[in-house]
């Protein structure tokens, strides 16, 4: 049976450092603060917001939500985000996604100040991920994947990594971060031929496709490490990943669970990014 890569353990290990840094900032008069922007009240958004607020409270990062109606006029939404951009007390801005269809996502991404864009959606931060420039903020979820890999000492140099999914939120940035650690990365997507055969090449398999339990044992080379980014609901209404945990766990050497895996680290990464953004402001004073 495989070793469980516990996201909760990783988040706990990160907590003390993030908390100490946040306390030092507050003591010097720059209390770190995150602003969350939420459109409407989708249950997924409320769930993530609650988790983010809990983590921020644990480490001493202030967190306020700007609630916008789901049908808020675009100009009003842009004004609200612009006001957070200009608010010196706010160090990080998280806009819960997806935004309503009538909001031009590109306008928001270009408006967001890169130095406050702690979830890596602005073009500058995206470019930095692809350049391997560590001064930016990669999206929190792929960064959480890297934190788990680092915490458990999983070797990437020269290893074959297969990433299932090519979104700008998870698949592509995860691939670039893994490449930055000298893995040989294959990116797969919905048009990939013979996905199980591609996946079986992996020493480390990262699943980010949004399909409940699609990755079964025949996708996994015996002894591979499996990182499951997916958050789905199964036929019984229970939270599950993209990986069919019960069939894959006996084959893999190490595996992240869902829940309790990548998702548990994501909000700690968010808080850490806010602290780093606040440290930059404090250092420039
Ligand atoms: P998207 O829907 O944006 O992207 C899914 C990707 O998977 C696409 O690249 C798509 O390919 C590919 N894909 C879909 N179906 C298949 C298939 N049958 N075979 C091969 N590839 C396929 O999802 P996200 O990247 O935003 O999220 C992925 C998963 O991660 C979701 O379950 C989401 O809930 C979860 N998530 C978890 C977070 C966390 O904190 N743990 C945070 C964010 C997301 P194509 O490009 O060809 O369409």
pLDDT digits (tens, 9 = 90+) for 141-162: 999 999 999 999 999 999 999 9
Give the domain range for residue 56: 28-114
- Average pLDDT (26-40) is 98
With 90 as the cut, is the pLDDT of residue 1 above it? no
- Tell how far the Cα of 184 is from the centroid of ligand 1, in angstroms: 21
Whether residue 68 lies inside any domain: the answer is yes
Measured over the CA atoms of residue 111, residue 136, residue 206 and residue 221, the dihedral's sign is positive
User: Is residue 173 located within the same domain as residue 259?
Assistant: yes
Pocket test for ligand 1, best of 210, 227, 268 (most atoms within 8 A of CB): 210
Q: What pLDDT is attached to residue 229?
A: 98
- Tell how far the Cα of 167 is from the centroid of ligand 1, in angstroms: 6
With 90 as the cut, is the pLDDT of residue 31 above it? yes
Rg (CA), the chain: 19
User: Is residue 94 located within the same domain as residue 167?
Assistant: no
Q: Give the pair of three-digit tokens for residue 118.
A: 């702690």
Say how far apart CA 25 and CA 6 lie, in whole Å. Answer: 29
- Tell me, using a 6 A CB cutoff, whether residue 227 lines ligand 1: no
- Pick the last residue of a domain from 114, 148, 169: 114
Q: Could you tell me which residues come within 8 angstroms of residue 138 by beta carbon, excluding any fewer than 6 positions away? A: 120, 125, 128, 129, 173, 176, 177
User: Is residue 91 located within the same domain as residue 159?
Assistant: no
pLDDT digits (tens, 9 = 90+) for 198-222: 999 999 999 999 999 999 999 999 9
Strands 160-164 and 92-95, by their bridges, are unpaired
Whether residue 61 lies inside any domain: the answer is yes
3-state DSSP assignment of residue 218 = helix
Q: What pLDDT is attached to residue 208?
A: 98
Pocket test for ligand 1, best of 52, 142, 190 (most atoms within 8 A of CB): 190
Whether residue 249 lies inside any domain: the answer is yes
Average pLDDT, the chain: 97
**CATH number, residue 83:** 3.40.50.10860
Q: Give the pair of three-digit tokens for residue 155.
A: 């070797």
With 90 as the cut, is the pLDDT of residue 165 above it? yes
User: Is residue 78 located within the same domain as residue 160?
Assistant: no
With 90 as the cut, is the pLDDT of residue 255 above it? yes
> How sure is the predictor about 19, in pLDDT bands with cuts at 50, 70 and 90?
very high
- Tell how far the Cα of 52 is from the centroid of ligand 1, in angstroms: 21
**Nearest protein CA to atom 39 of ligand 1, as residue:** 263
Whether residue 219 lies inside any domain: the answer is yes
Closest CA to 233 of 47, 95, 55, 98: 47
With a pLDDT cut of 70, the percent of the chain lying above it is: 100
Q: How many residues does the chain have?
A: 285
Q: What is the DSSP letter of 244?
A: -
Q: What pLDDT is attached to residue 268?
A: 98
> How sure is the predictor about 187, in pLDDT bands with cuts at 50, 70 and 90?
very high
Q: What pLDDT is attached to residue 77?
A: 98
Whether residue 69 lies inside any domain: the answer is yes
Q: How far is CA 222 from the centre of its chain?
A: 27
Measured over the CA atoms of residue 140, residue 283, residue 132 and residue 86, the dihedral's sign is positive
> How sure is the predictor about 40, in pLDDT bands with cuts at 50, 70 and 90?
very high
- Tell how far the Cα of 84 is from the centroid of ligand 1, in angstroms: 30
* Total number of domains constituting the chain: 2
pLDDT digits (tens, 9 = 90+) for 230-253: 999 999 999 999 999 999 999 999
User: Is residue 175 located within the same domain as residue 66?
Assistant: no
Cα atoms in the Cβ-side hemisphere of radius 13 Å centred on 68: 23
Q: Which parts of 160-244 fold into alpha helices (H)?
A: 171-180, 195-199
- Tell how far the Cα of 272 is from the centroid of ligand 1, in angstroms: 24
Pocket test for ligand 1, best of 163, 165, 211 (most atoms within 8 A of CB): 165
User: Is residue 169 located within the same domain as residue 106?
Assistant: no
Q: In Å, how far are 27, 86, 87 from 82, measured between CA atoms?
A: 28, 6, 9
Q: Could you tell me which residues come within 8 angstroms of residue 267 by beta carbon, excluding any fewer than 6 positions away? A: 11, 48, 51, 52, 54, 55, 56, 140
> How sure is the predictor about 58, in pLDDT bands with cuts at 50, 70 and 90?
very high
- Average pLDDT (122-128) is 98
User: Is residue 151 located within the same domain as residue 236?
Assistant: yes
Say how far apart CA 238 and CA 85 lie, in whole Å. Answer: 38
**Nearest protein CA to atom 36 of ligand 1, as residue:** 230
Whether residue 203 lies inside any domain: the answer is yes
**CATH number, residue 166:** 3.40.50.720
Burial of 149 (0-12, 13-18, 19+ CB in 10 A): buried
Closest CA to 164 of 133, 140, 188: 188
pTM of the model: 0.97
19 backbone dihedrals φ, ψ, rounded to 5°: -65, -45
- Tell me, using a 6 A CB cutoff, whether residue 263 lines ligand 1: yes
With 90 as the cut, is the pLDDT of residue 285 above it? no
């Amino acid at each position: 049976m495989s070793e469980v890569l516990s996201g909760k353990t990783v988040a706990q290990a990160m907590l003390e450092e993030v908390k100490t840094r946040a306390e030092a900032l507050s003591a010097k008069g720059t209390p770190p603060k995150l602003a969350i922007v939420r459109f409407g009240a989708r249950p997924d958004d409320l769930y993530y917001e609650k988790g983010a607020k809990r983590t921020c409270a644990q480490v001493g990062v202030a967190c306020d939500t700007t609630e916008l109606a789901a049908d808020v006029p675009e100009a009003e939404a842009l004004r609200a985000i612009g006001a957070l951009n200009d608010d010196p007390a706010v160090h990080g801005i998280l806009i819960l996604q997806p935004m309503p269809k009538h909001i031009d996502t590109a306008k928001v991404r270009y408006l967001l100040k890169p130095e406050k864009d702690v979830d890596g959606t602005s073009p500058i931060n995206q470019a930095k991920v692809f350049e391997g420039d560590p001064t930016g903020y990669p999206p929190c979820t792929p960064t959480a994947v890297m934190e788990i890999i680092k915490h458990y000492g999983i070797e990437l140099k020269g290893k074959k990594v297969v990433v299932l999914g090519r979104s700008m939120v998870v698949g592509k940035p995860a691939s670039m971060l893994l490449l930055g650690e000298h893995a040989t990365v294959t990116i797969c997507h919905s048009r990939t031929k013979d996905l199980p055969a591609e996946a079986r090449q992996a020493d480390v398999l990262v699943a980010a496709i949004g399909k409940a339990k699609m990755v079964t044992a025949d996708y996994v080379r015996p002894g591979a490490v499996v990182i499951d980014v997916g958050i789905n609901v199964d036929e019984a209404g229970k939270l599950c990943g993209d990986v069919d945990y019960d069939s894959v766990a006996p084959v893999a050497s190490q595996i992240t669970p869902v829940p309790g895996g990548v998702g548990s680290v994501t909000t700690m990464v968010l808080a850490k990014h806010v602290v780093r953004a606040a440290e930059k402001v404090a250092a420039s004073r």
